[in-house]
Amino acid sequence: MSPTPKAPVPSHAVSPQIGRIARLLHLDPSEVTGLDGVPDADLRTLHDQISKRLFGDAQRQFARVAALSKTIPGPLAGVLAEKFLPPVMAARVSEMLDPAKARDLIGRVSVTYLAEIALALDPVRSKPVVQKLPPEPIGKVAKELFGRQEYAAMAEFVGTVTTDALMAAFEVATPHDLLAVVPLLEWNDNLDVVVADLPHHKVTQIATSLTPVELADLAMALDPSRMGPIVAAVPAEVVAGIAKALFERGEYAGMARFVGVVTPEMLHAAFEVATPHDLLAVVPLLEWNDNLDHVIEELPEGQVEAIAAELDPGEMADLAVGLDPSRMGPILRVVPPATVAEVARVLFARKQVAEMVKFVDVIDDIPDEVVDALLGEIAEGEDWDSAQQAFEEVGPEAQARLFSRFDGLAPAHQARIRAAADAGELGPAATALLTGKP
C-alpha cells in the first residue's frame, strides 16, 4: 500500500520568503527544511540567487518573450501565456513587460493564473509594472488570494501597489481576512490613506463581525493612531468584551496605547470590567487626557471602595505613586481614612515621603478625616528630614490646610511635632505655621 500523501502546507503557515522559495522550486513549503530562523533579508537573497541560477541564462529569452508580446494581439497573447507559460516563468516575463501591455494582458487571463503569477512575483522588481495596473483586476486577484489564505505573501506587496489597488484589496477582504493580514503589514502612507477612506459599511462590518476576542487580537496588532476610524466604530458594549480579554492576558501596555483614541464611553466600559489589580497595572502606563478625567469623575463610589478593599497597603502605595494627585480628587474623596494612613505608613517606610505629601496639593478635595490621618502618620513616622523637604515643596494653601487640622491631632502627635520644631527639625514654613498655634 502506498503511503498517504501529506496535505500541502498553506504558505501562510510558514515564512512568506520560504513560501516564495518553495514556489520557485515547485515544492510544497513543508519540503523546504533547514531554513527556520533564517532572517527574511537572507531568505530574499537566497531566493534571488536560486532564481538567478535557474533563470539567469534565460533572462534574454524572457526579455524576448516580453518584447514578442508587443507584436501579438492581446487575446492571443493571453491564451498562449496561460497555456504554455508556467506562472513562475510568467512572473519573470511580467517583470519585463511594457506597463501598457501588462494592463492589456491582465484582463485576458484567468484570475487563478494571475494569482499564481502574483505569488511568484518579486515585489521590488515588479513594482514599475504593478503600479500601472488598474485596481479592479487587482481586487479580483486579492479576493482569490484571500480565499487561499495567502496572507503573508499578500503582505509583501503592501509597498508595491497603489493606494487605489490597496483599497480594492481591502474592499474584498472579510473581517477575518483583515484579522489575519493586518499584523503582517509593514505600515506606510498608502495604508494610512486607505484606512482613513474606508467606507462606513466596511468599517462597521469589521467592528461588528469579529468577536471581542478577535477584536482584541486585532487591537494588539494595530497602531492606535492610525486606526481611529475602525476603533471609533466599535460599539461601547463590545469594548467591555475586548477589555476583559486583554485584561485577562495582561496586555496592559498594549491597552494603554488606545487611551488617546477611544471615547469616554469606551473608557467607562473598560474600567467597569477591570479588577483592582488590573487598574494597579494599567493606570501608571496611561497618558492622561480629558477623557480619563471625565471617567474618573464618574467612577461609582462602590468601585473605588472595592479597589481600596482588595488591594493591600503596599499595592495601594504603588498605585498612589503612579497617579497624578491633581486628577485623583474624585477617588481620594471616598478612600477610607484608615486606608490613607496605611498607605502613608508604607510610603514612610520606603522613604517616599515626597510622593506621599504631593497629595496635599489637592488637599481641598480631601475630607478632614483623611487630612487628620495623613498628618498623624507624618508625626508618627518622625522622619523629619523627609517630611520637612516634602512640606516645604507644597503650596502655601495646602500647607495652611494641613496645619488647620493640627488641633485635632492626638496629644502625643502634637507633642512630637512641637518637639521637632523646638529642635529645629521642621522647615521655616511649618515652624511659622506652628508658631500661631497656642
Report how far residue 53's alpha carbon sits from residue 182's, in angstroms, rounded to the nearest whole number. 34
Quickly count: other Cβ atoms within 10 Å of residue 277's Cβ.
13
59 pLDDT more than 70:
no
Q: How confident is the model at residue 335 (pLDDT cuts 50, 70, 90)?
A: confident
Contact 299, 271 (CB under 8 A): yes
Residue type, 420: A
Average pLDDT, the chain: 77
Residue 336 Cα distances to 271, 312, 340, angstroms: 21, 13, 7
pLDDT per position as a tens digit, 105-149: 777 788 998 899 888 888 878 888 888 889 999 999 999 999 999
Q: How confident is the model at residue 16 (pLDDT cuts 50, 70, 90)?
A: low
Quickly count: other Cβ atoms within 10 Å of residue 170's Cβ.
22
Q: Do domains 11-30+65-161 and 300-438 have the same CATH topology?
A: yes
Residue 12 C-alpha cell reads as 501562510
The torsion angle over the Cα atoms of residues 307, 308, 313 and 317, rounded to 10 degrees, is: 70
Q: Within 13 A of 36's CA, how many CA atoms are on the CB side? A: 7
4 pLDDT more than 70:
no
Q: How confident is the model at residue 29 (pLDDT cuts 50, 70, 90)?
A: confident
Give the list of residues 6+ apart from residue 188 with CB closer than 8 angstroms, or none: 158, 159
The stretch 191-208 carries a mean pLDDT of 83
Contact 437, 402 (CB under 8 A): no
159 pLDDT more than 80:
yes
Question: What percent of the chain has pLDDT above 90?
Answer: 13
183 secondary structure, DSSP code: G
Distance of CA 426 to the CA centre of its chain: 48
Give the list of residues 6+ apart from residue 157 with CB closer than 8 angstroms, or none: 118, 121, 123, 130
Report how far residue 299's alpha carbon sits from residue 70's, in angstroms, rounded to the nearest whole number. 71
Query: What pLDDT does residue 422 have?
Result: 84
Domain covering 11-30+65-161, topology: MgtE N-terminal fold (1.25.60)
Question: What percent of the chain has pLDDT above 70?
Answer: 78
The stretch 408-425 carries a mean pLDDT of 82
Buried b / exposed e over 337-369, threshold 16 CB at 10 Å, is: bebbbbbbbbbbeeebbebbbbbbbbbebbeee
The stretch 359-366 carries a mean pLDDT of 60
Q: How confident is the model at residue 315 (pLDDT cuts 50, 70, 90)?
A: confident
Report how far residue 314's alpha carbon sits from residue 333's, in angstroms, rounded to the nearest whole number. 20
Residue 415 C-alpha cell reads as 507633642
Q: Domain ranges for the chain, please list them.
A: 11-30+65-161, 198-298, 300-438
Contact 229, 200 (CB under 8 A): no
pLDDT per position as a tens digit, 256-265: 988 888 888 8
Query: What pLDDT does residue 17 have?
Result: 75
Query: What pLDDT does residue 163 have?
Result: 93
pLDDT per position as a tens digit, 61-83: 444 444 444 545 445 455 556 76
Q: How confident is the model at residue 411 (pLDDT cuts 50, 70, 90)?
A: confident
| Of 53, 131, 49, 62, the residue nearest 92 (C-alpha) | 62
Query: What pLDDT does residue 328 have?
Result: 65
Pick the CATH number of 300-438 from 1.10.3470, 1.25.60, 3.30.565, 2.40.50: 1.25.60
Query: What pLDDT does residue 8 have?
Result: 41
Residue type, 216: A
Query: What pLDDT does residue 10 have?
Result: 42
Q: What angle do CA 417, 421, 425 make, to 5 degrees?
A: 100
Which residue did the predictor score with more confidence, 357 or 315? 315
DSSP per residue, 69-106: TTTS-HHHHHHHHHHHS-HHHHHHHHTTS-HHHHHHHT
φ, ψ for residue 354, nearest 5 deg: -60, -40
User: Which long-range contacts (C-beta less than 8 Å, at least 24 apart) are formed by 43-48?
Assistant: 43/15, 43/17, 43/18, 44/17, 46/21, 47/17, 47/20, 47/21, 48/122
Report how far residue 357's alpha carbon sits from residue 352's, in angstroms, rounded to the nearest whole number. 9
| Of 254, 310, 252, the residue nearest 281 (C-alpha) | 252
Query: What pLDDT does residue 177 have?
Result: 93
